[in-house]
Structure 1
Amino acid sequence: MADMERPGVNAARLWASGLATAVVAALLAIVGIMIARGILDVPVLAPKGEGVWGNANTFTYALLSGAAALLATGLMHLLVLAVSTPRQFFTWIMVLATLIAVVLPLTLTVEPGAKVATAVINLAIGLAITIIINSATSAALVVRRDRGATDAATRQWNQPPNTYYDS
């Protein structure tokens, strides 16, 4: 009887990667705001008078960026469990969601520099989340083999049956 393989995911590894991605996304939001306000002198999220560090909106933007990474991790986990090509669907969903996040600030009636700066920050955050979670999923995917299955047709007499987890 051939091995019975079931796809699976190392949830602890995937979610640890998702948490690390949330930190990266939050820090990327802060760095983007600092560059826009401090170097380019472009207001993002708050009036210029708020300074390089901004106000509570900077914290909210960073927090929402981290939350987006955690939502993306949850989406990937669901896709791994439910569809045949999870990374392909994840990439398409994330690219389209990122595109919405890039286009949305461009439709607002605010200073053009603020529109572009916010769109660029959203693009960087969306791409970072997409790339990191997609990459981390490769390390978190596992193929589980049923312990009772054997590969007798190809196994030599002196080899034990395969009862391990491939990573």
Structure 2
Amino acid sequence: MASPQSGWDRNYQDQPTRPYPPVQPQQGDRPSVDAGKLWAGGFGTAVVAALVALVGILLVRGVLGIHILSPDDAGTYGDATTTTYAFGAFGIAILATAAVHLLLLLMPRPMAFFNWIMLLVIAVGVLIPFTASAELESQIATAAINLVIGLCIMSLLNSVAAIATRAGRTQGDGML
């Protein structure tokens, strides 16, 4: 009778299709979050969100000729309100990054919760312009910009969170 072999060619009679038993995650194993990657990606998302706001306003005011966020005589860029709007988009992306970080650390299925939160925040951002007294085209344009900013933040942070999250390790697992 042949002696057992070591290494990859070893014959496992009790598990013919799997040379090693499956690793069972232990209770308490959670994915770990690389905070540096998460926050770097969150900062990048915030910059993109601010630029989306700026491009959206320039498109609506300059190309489409719809006056939003400032009086007609303010020009294509608008006034300080345009800058405030862009910084607001930046701030919302930073807050969304903080929410993702908190959800990743504390919640089961954190991205499902994040997506629901973001969809509801986007809905609020789309509906708010219709509560202000303004021309309908200005309301629609502002709602559209808010929608694009919100979807941008949500999609980018979903990607960033996936990259910044690593599966938890079981005890005795020597792999990184």
TM over 0.5, shorter chain: yes
The answer to whether the Cα contact below 8 Å between 1:45 and 1:57 also exists between their aligned partners in 2 is yes
Q: 1:79 aligns with which of 103, 112, 119?
A: 103
- Equivalent residue letter for 1:114: S
Structure 2 residue 27 is the aligned partner of structure 1 residue 16? no
Structure 2 residue 60 is the aligned partner of structure 1 residue 36? yes
Structure 2 residue 129 is the aligned partner of structure 1 residue 118? no
The answer to whether the Cα contact below 8 Å between 1:7 and 1:141 also exists between their aligned partners in 2 is yes
Unaligned runs of 5+ in 2: 1-22
Query: What RMSD, in angstroms, separates the aligned Cα atoms of the two structures?
Result: 1.5
- Equivalent residue letter for 2:159: S
2:153 corresponds to which residue?
Answer: 129
Unaligned runs of 5+ in 1: 151-161
> Percent of pairs identical after alignment?
42
**Aligned-pair distance for 1:145?**
2.1
**Aligned-pair distance for 1:3?**
6.0
- In 1: Cα distance, 2:164 partner to 2:59 partner: 34
The answer to whether the Cα contact below 8 Å between 1:37 and 1:48 also exists between their aligned partners in 2 is no
SS in 2 for 1:144: coil
1:67 corresponds to which residue?
Answer: 91
- In 1: Cα distance, 2:162 partner to 2:110 partner: 11
The answer to whether the Cα contact below 8 Å between 1:33 and 1:58 also exists between their aligned partners in 2 is yes
Select the structure that is richer in strand: 1
**Aligned-pair distance for 1:107?**
1.6
Decide which structure has the larger Cα Rg and report it. Answer: 2
TM-score (norm 1): 0.86
TM-score (norm 2): 0.82
Aligned length in residues: 152
- In 2: Cα distance, 1:2 partner to 1:108 partner: 55
Q: Please list every run of at least 4 consecutive aligned residues from structure 1 whose deviation after the TM superposition is greater than 4 angstroms.
A: 1-4
Q: 2:80 aligns with which of 46, 53, 56?
A: 56
